[in-house]
Structure 1
């Protein structure tokens, strides 16, 4: 017979209400920060950067984008750069420097219309 502690568990440490639909969340490598991407009800995209401090998730930066953001990864950059690659619902791939997330470092069109 297995005990409850022998199975994988999800333990919530922090809960935060948001005013948008979250499609992806990623920890920023080598930091106590994370990024949430998604879309506002009005149809625009959002990228939010949070920092965990004393058991709270504090919003550091919010950037609104023209199109909803579906996915994100740090797999396209080094641990030192920590640039995030995002894909939006219009078929665009953008790479963002999180220090200056207003304008993408690199942008590509994935889907031709």
Structure 2
């Protein structure tokens, strides 16, 4: 079954990191990513630009409205994701717990919807 692992972190905390801390974090992500590629769990994944680059789109009364910024103001913002293949939720949770940001932010684990054709 496919699971989407959504990575949330505080952009403000990330900005406070010095270059050595950012490089170390990048190394942690590189090692984690390689481990799930090698184990066959990895399907896709990417980091996202800071929340300040987001634009939200809504359609109201037939009109397209755009707003600079994220959908909601929160302390933690969506920073990236991994799409994985896991045998079950427990397997997906174990993988999510290894994502480096789990110690500072949080990881939301959601099964991907399966459509019957």
TM-score by length of 2: 0.29
Higher share of residues assigned helix: 2
**Higher RCO (C-alpha under 8 Å, 6+ residues apart):** 2
